[in-house]
Amino acid sequence: MDYFNHNLEGLQRTCPALAAAVKDTSGGVLMLKESREGSVSAMCGGQWVHSAYDPCKEAKVWAEAQLREWQAGELAVVLGVGLLYHVEALVAVKPAGSRLAVVIPDVSFLKDALRARPMGAWLNAVEWIWGTAPEMAEQLISHSAALRVFTYAPAARLHAEVHRELEEWLRRSVAKRQGGQLHVAVVGPIYGGSLPIAKYVVTALEALGHRVSWIDHSLHRASYDAFGAYRDMRHRQAMQSRFAEVLSLSTITHLSEDPPDLVLAIAQAPLTLAVLEHLRKKKFLTAMWFVENYRHLTYWQQLAAGYDYWFVIQQAECHEAFKRAGARSVGYLPMAADPAVHRPLTLTDAERTEYGADLSFVGAGYPNRRVLLPRWLSKDWSFKLWGNEWEGAADLAPVLQRSGARIDTEACMKVFNASAINLNLHSCGGEALDPQADFVNPRTFELAACGAFQLTDERALLPDLFTEEEIVRFRRTEDVPALIRMWLDDPSGRRTVAEAARQRVLRQHTYGHRMKELLAAIGLRQPDRIGAILRGDRNAGALAVRAESAPEFSAMLRRFPLGQRVELKDVAADIRANGVGRALEREELLILLLDSYRAETRDLV
């Protein structure tokens, strides 16, 4: 039967431009197959796009699963086209007052769907989103409604890159419009390179206006290290592991006493899988920013299923590995800099003499660095090496500063500012450049924020972050000496490149930018929780307007400043403070009763 023309007529009523585009395309990208039940199904690339047995039943089950999250008033955005069985099923169950939009990355797929089967009047209940990723993002944002994204995976996989780009544009739009105050509990590690990152995150969140509870486990570093005095490695590891479990339990106590909207852990934070599962049962949202190379530090495999959201500094294979291990949501979030810390400095002559050199390197003595750095020693330039773990590197001993002592952040900034060229060499376990050179380390952003010139090894993800006019990179170790000579002879060029990199960081790569992106990503997936707070829907002014049909409650809310976030506990506290010596109204008593119930049911311990 000729389903196409009839379906096209229906589409033309609501979206004539899309109907014209569908008519002009060739289609033929989906292979239509008869399912076991008899209805038409489809394959693409050797994989089924809908069930080979009963696509209608499969679509109904999928739609009912999405319905558990879909809130009234939200605009549901469906990723994945296929033959639209799943969209038809969603239309049938959508909540009153809600709308449904379908993203069309390629109109050829829609043409195949319209050819395959009769669609019916439900086509007119759908808002069709099509065009480039920025255009589609703009169309969705223009609806000014809370967005909830539903992914029909079998069909969405065919346009994964477009969907990723679309989500990135949506995230940027949401990040720009954040106007509400969250309460975020940041859980830091006991020690290590991610500890300063946790502090930068706290500072960034506070600067954005959010309330932060900083659970700083570095306070227990001395006790943790004390267990290292045991001679037997098994005893050391057992005691340190048990101590980390105690700190994990102490985190629950912190959260119980002041429940946050989001628990954000930074890499190596001492949270066990059992504690994370307990937090989920209590309806707490958890996220981890894993600022590590997932190939080298693999403890994430035991924790993957525990966090609601993972943010990582790698892509592609890393995301797939986390999902195979049980992670529900994995997003890319690169490193950053804190301009208040990583900044240009005015140095004294004495400081320039102490810290300055033609060529500098700051970092630990990892295997590939021990092999490569000696190759770049030369009588043609001065070289200073800073950092620890260089024991046994005899050929580097003459340039090693402070006998290999670890230097603090302030000293690092002086080295960066005083050096003509800062080498930035990513570590790896081998004896050369990283063979799997994807992630970009924090040093790249920190040097750039200082306005310091750097020479770094090429990384797969670097071009998306900095251009070659902002950071000079090398692809072969044998090219490094010539690059050093060339840039030492061009101080004006170094200043131009370094300043361009600094401006790029200030525009796009601070921890403030990253926290906006992280919260926006979670807000898109939690439009009724994190998203609502970020949009300002929980502010007193917005709540008072929504409560106008109940004047008693509206009056309570108007006692707060319009832009202040107000929760049930805040209204209850206001009633207790202002209700002394008078009989409380029925509505006030109801608020106090609900708040008492909230406090009892939210107890974590």
Helix (H) or strand (E) holding 289: strand 285-290
Q: What is the DSSP string of 227-285?
A: GGG-SSHHHHHHHHHHHHHHHHHHHHHHHHHS--SEEEEETT----HHHHHHHHHTT-E
Give the residue from 67, 124, 129, 119 showing the smallest Cα distance to 98: 67
d(CA 105, CA 82): 12
The answer to whether 511 and 160 have CB atoms below 8 angstroms apart is no
Query: How deeply is 116 buried, as exposed, middle or buried, from its count of CB atoms within 10 A (0-12, 13-18, 19+)?
Result: buried
Q: Divide the 605 residues of the chain into consecutive groups of 10 and give the mean pLDDT of each group.
A: 87 91 92 94 94 95 90 90 95 89 95 93 91 91 83 93 90 78 95 94 95 94 84 84 87 91 96 94 95 94 96 95 96 97 97 97 94 95 96 95 95 98 92 92 98 97 97 96 97 98 97 95 89 81 75 79 81 82 81 79 58
d(CA 393, CA 373): 10
Q: What CA dihedral angle connects 571, 577, 583 and 586, to 10 degrees?
A: 10
pLDDT at 431: 83
The domain defined by 349-509 folds into: Rossmann fold (3.40.50)
For the chain, give every domain's residue range: 3-159, 183-336, 349-509, 549-601
Question: Among the residues of 314-397, which ranges form H helices?
Answer: 317-324, 349-355, 367-372
Angle between helices 85-93 and 55-67 (to 10 degrees): 40
Domains 183-336 and 349-509 equal at CATH topology level = yes
CATH 3.40.50.720 fits 183-336, yes or no: no
Q: What are the tokens at 233? A: 């490695």
pTM for the whole structure? 0.85
